[in-house]
């Protein structure tokens, strides 16, 4: 909250949070939107958001004058014209699940205002008008870290509805934290997709000057409108600048940085394509990819009641950690390197380790237990060392897979939802949606 002196100044000038104001300070005259104060920082510092999207703080002692330019209510009252369709352009449906990509901060409340109608989307991203007819609706408004199997079912059902309507492509806006989980889930659920389904997120808020929201959404739209691709993929920045985006494979992509705009990278493979709206160019990188067809979509769902775990091995581990998954339906062990876990008694300090192996063996009697490597890059090879051979003997599967732990988790849950338990072990090591590469590409490391 602002200091009492600043609040009194706002009252005299009839200024409220969210209003457009002019501030005269030493040698400058700045116009922007009055931001709410957080509990952090100097309460005597006035904060406004500039048209560039960046915030600036001005100390009360430097302020010469403050004036009201336009009330927030006037801006909110603007009405948007109905969207006219162009029969010569493809129709793309944008389904929103939340995140920052199509939202703006309401500075009167400090909250986020959702902008999800076609008119609002085109107002925010007018470049879309020249590429396609846009249909847009909200199917859920949530943080991506709160996703559950039920939300994957919801997204898949909504995609099926759009395909039945005859759209030429679908964009799903999604929070970035778990977007790679959702992409993998949709890839397994949506078999024989006749159109592209592209997941798009934003690492930086739409109202920030450094936002990647516009670039990601515009490039995804351009890619759909100017390619023959069909299938599930992710579209995010290729580098930290705005020159291009990558179309990334749904089951072999991972978020590799907390905040960089190029956080999403292909794992153990290459990107599908590079797209640049600015250069009006789409160039395919992958040698093979799904193409549009008249195929009939086959939709399968997740069992929303399944309990599937993802456990990371670590030093100083205990058998009780493994035993905690005793009432689950399946478990992915994120093991060391080629597929190891701490199961060997080598001295007086490692007496717990055989108990860990015994606990894993007990789980394998009840459920599928699958190995993935916490190295992220590379392939499991569980025949090299005796440790991994002992894990295989206990019932752990996954040898020779090069899936990410997240895709392994999603695949196991999807298989358990749709196949008998005795079939799951064999299918885990079979490539179904491009999640396992037949041959490792040495040049795909950290690209």
- Give catalytic residue positions: 100, 176-177, 255
Tokens 């860990």 sit on residue: 356
CB 14 within 8 A of CB 68: yes
Separation between Cα atoms, residue 173 and residue 212, nearest integer Å: 13
CA end-to-end span of the chain: 45
Q: 3-class DSSP state for residue 406? A: helix
Separation between Cα atoms, residue 302 and residue 299, nearest integer Å: 10
Q: 3-class DSSP state for residue 49? A: strand
Cα 411 off chain centre by: 17
From the CA atom positions of the chain, what is the Rg in Å?
26
Tokens 């876990």 sit on residue: 341
Which sign, positive or negative, has the C-alpha torsion 5, 11, 14, 16? positive
311: closest CA among 361, 374, 253?
A: 374
Number of H helices and number of E strands within the chain?
11, 22
CB 231 within 8 A of CB 292: no
Per DSSP, the residues of 180-192 read HHHHHHHHHHEET
* 289 phi and psi angles, rounded to 5 deg: -155, 160
Looking only at the bridges linking them, the beta strands covering 169-173 and 91-96 are: parallel
Q: Name every residue whose Cβ is closer than 8 Å to that of residue 77 and which is 6 or more positions away in sequence.
A: none
Separation between Cα atoms, residue 63 and residue 46, nearest integer Å: 9
Q: CA dist 262 to 194, 243, 254, 293, 378, Å? A: 28, 11, 11, 31, 21
* 60 phi and psi angles, rounded to 5 deg: -55, -35
Q: 3-class DSSP state for residue 268? A: coil
68: closest CA among 107, 29, 13?
A: 13
310: closest CA among 381, 175, 403, 233?
A: 403
Separation between Cα atoms, residue 37 and residue 189, nearest integer Å: 45
272: closest CA among 284, 280, 258, 259?
A: 284
């Amino acid at each position: 909250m602002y200091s009492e002196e600043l609040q009194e100044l706002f009252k005299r000038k009839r200024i409220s949070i969210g209003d457009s104001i002019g501030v005269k300070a030493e040698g400058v005259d700045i116009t922007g939107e009055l931001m709410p104060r957080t509990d952090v920082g100097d309460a005597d510092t006035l904060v406004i958001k500039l048209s560039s999207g960046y915030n600036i703080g001005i100390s009360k002692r430097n302020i010469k004058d403050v004036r009201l330019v336009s009330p927030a209510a006037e801006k909110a009252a603007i009405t948007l014209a109905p969207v006219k369709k162009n029969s010569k352009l493809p129709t793309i449906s944008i389904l929103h699940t939340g995140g920052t990509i199509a939202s703006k901060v309401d500075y009167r409340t400090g909250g986020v205002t959702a902008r999800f109608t076609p008119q609002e989307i085109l107002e925010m991203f007018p470049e879309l008008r020249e590429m396609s007819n846009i249909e847009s609706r909200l199917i859920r408004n949530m943080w991506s870290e709160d996703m559950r199997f039920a939300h994957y079912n919801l997204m898949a059902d909504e995609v099926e509805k759009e395909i039945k309507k005859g759209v030429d492509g679908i964009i799903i806006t999604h929070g970035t934290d778990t977007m790679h989980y959702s992409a993998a889930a949709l890839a397994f659920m949506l078999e024989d997709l006749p159109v592209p389904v592209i997941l798009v997120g934003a690492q930086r808020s739409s109202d920030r000057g450094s936002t990647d929201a516009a670039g990601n959404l515009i490039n995804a739209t351009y890619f759909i409108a100017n390619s023959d691709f069909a299938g599930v993929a992710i579209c995010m920045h290729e580098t930290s600048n705005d020159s291009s985006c990558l179309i990334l494979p749904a089951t072999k992509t991972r978020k590799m940085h907390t905040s960089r705009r190029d956080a999403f990278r292909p794992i153990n493979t290459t990107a599908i394509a590079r797209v640049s709206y600015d250069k009006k160019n789409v160039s395919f990188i992958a040698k093979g990819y799904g193409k549009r067809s008249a195929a009939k979509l086959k939709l399968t769902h997740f069992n929303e009641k399944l309990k599937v775990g993802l456990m990371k091995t670590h030093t100083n581990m205990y058998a009780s950690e493994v035993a905690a998954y005793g009432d689950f339906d399946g478990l992915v062990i994120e093991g060391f390197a080629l597929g190891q876990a701490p199961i060997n008694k080598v001295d007086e300090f490692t007496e717990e380790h055989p108990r860990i192996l015994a606990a894993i063996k007990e789980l394998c009697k009840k459920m599928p237990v699958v190995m993935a490597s916490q190295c992220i890059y590379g392939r499991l090879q569980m025949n090299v060392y005796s440790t991994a051979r002992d894990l295989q003997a206990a019932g752990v599967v996954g040898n020779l897979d090069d899936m990410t732990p997240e895709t392994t988790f999603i695949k196991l849950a999807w298989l358990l939802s749709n196949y008998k338990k005795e079939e799951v072990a064999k299918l885990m090591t079979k490539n179904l949606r491009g999640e396992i590469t037949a041959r490792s590409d040495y040049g795909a490391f950290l690209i």
